[in-house]
A = this chain, B = another copy of it.
């Protein structure tokens, strides 16, 4: 059973040029995903649970959304493993004056059901019915792939962002930014942890500030790499969201974003890395057309390595997109 969210875009959802923040869209996508997967995981009798976001696959923002447009967010469960649910979400943008609709996003999210009695315990997921056997096999393949990738990225997460004094323009230190947020009641589920969508919205906000500082123009989110949620962020934490530029192509910028949680009241736990991801932004002219971005100035060996890694991701995505576009253009 599908779940559809509809909402009109307000000035607060957008930047001053009127483009809706990528983070606002990610937050709506996650809300639809959380509703459908929580509903599904409670559809059989047994212990009650809430679905927590574990991973978001790479997501492209195909076309910018504007203030006054109506967003239609549709979610559907496409695969279930023993302990996780895959949800596919698409977002349409409707201009209610002209009636025109555009697809703005497709996204795939993975959720894990946590027991309401003990949010550290993962419950079992009721299986779904597949219309064709192939759908189940394809889902299983996606499941295995993301499981492997989650393991790999968990190890990468020791890195931190050092402040730089008097940085030169266009260097990494020049645009890097950190934001601190005290988790409040309306950021959380009823069960005391932060909604995945709230975290993604803050990540997009930091990435946007880094991008704007670098190129000093109107910027919009073009895509987000896979995001893994390694640990829940609990109520009462202070979270630090840090972003730094890793790579620039001719017309895009890649920004790495980290989320660290400090459980400073109640718990004697240490600060931990909760999430990390890569955001890609493009720079727009006043007419809304993509314009060249200043080249990132590399100063250290680490920055050089990260630039090369970013270039690798850029080329890989470009190649994938060309392959994906072919069947579409042949339709």
Interface residues of A (CB under 8 A from B): 3-8, 10-12, 14-16, 31-32, 34-35, 38-39, 42-43, 48-50, 67-68, 70, 94, 96-99, 116, 162-163, 165, 169, 177-186, 188-190, 205-206, 208-209, 212-213, 216-218, 235-236, 238, 262, 264-266
Contacts and interface: CB of A to CB of B under 8 A. Distances in A.
B14 A179 contact: no
Nearest to A16: B68
Given A16-B67, A179-B179, 5 more contacts: A12-B184, A35-B180, A178-B180, A209-B238, A218-B265
Contacts of A266: 48, 116
**Chain A contact residues: over half helix, strand or loop, or mixed?**
mixed
Contact of A163 (B3, B163, B169, B208): B163
A236 to B, nearest CB: 5
B96 A35 contact: yes
B6 A43 contact: no
Nearest to A42: B97
18 contacts: A6-B32, A6-B180, A16-B68, A16-B183, A16-B265, A34-B182, A39-B70, A39-B96, A39-B264, A48-B97, A48-B98, A67-B190, A96-B216, A99-B213, A177-B180, A179-B179, A180-B206, A182-B208
B190 A42 contact: no
Contact of A186 (B3, B15, B38, B186): B186
6 tightest Cβ-Cβ pairs between the two chains A and B: A11-B185, A163-B163, A11-B11, A16-B68, A39-B96, A12-B186
A170 to B, nearest CB: 11
Contacts of A235: 16, 190
Contact of A264 (B68, B212, B238): B212
A166 to B, nearest CB: 11
A98 to B, nearest CB: 7
B163 A182 contact: no
Contacts of A206: 180
Contacts of A217: 97, 265
A329 B286 CA distance: 41
A262 B42 CA distance: 12
Given A6-B209, A180-B4, A209-B6, A186 B11 contact: yes
Contacts of A264: 38-39, 42, 212-213, 216
